[in-house]
Structures are given as C-alpha cells and as structure tokens.
Amino acid sequence: MSLKAFHILFITVCTVFVAGFGIWAWTQHGLQAEGPHLFLALCGFGLAVALPIYGIWFLKKMKAVSFL
C-alpha cells in the first residue's frame, strides 16, 4: 500500500472520527449549556464536510500515482 492509499484511509477514518466527535459535543451541549461544546460540535461537523472534499481533491491531484 502506497502513501497515497494510506492517506486516503487516514482521511476516511478522520472523517468518521470528527463526525462522531461532532455528535458527542452536540450531545454534551444539550446536557450542559455552558462550555465550549457548541463550538467543538460545529468544528467537528465542519471538518466532517471539509475532509471528504479534501480527499477527493487529493485523489484527483494524485491520479497518476499507484495505490500499491
């Protein structure tokens, strides 16, 4: 597996993580209004959108490089 393939795997795992983190922070915001949880939830959801966009851009940029 090349760095290109591993990077795509990494970005995929990170996307799942930040989406889960966003849900966790949103839930915490519902339980306790004070604190940075709303901001953290927005960061998590924002990254869950941004990372796949970056991943597609990266795949297009590295089209010529092998996955092996």
Instruction: Lay out the site mask for another protein across 27-56 (x = CB under 8 A, - = otherwise).
Output: ---------x---x--x---x------x--
- The encoded tokens of residue 60 equal 């297009």
Residue of the chain from 19, 21, 38, 45 that contacts another protein (CB under 8 A): 21
**Residue 65 sits in the site that holds another protein (CB under 8 A):** yes
Give the span between the Cα atoms of 51 and 9, in whole angstroms.
Answer: 12
Please tell me what DSSP assigns to residue 32.
Answer: -
**CB of residue 50 vs another protein: minimum separation in angstroms?**
11
- The encoded tokens of residue 46 equal 């924002």
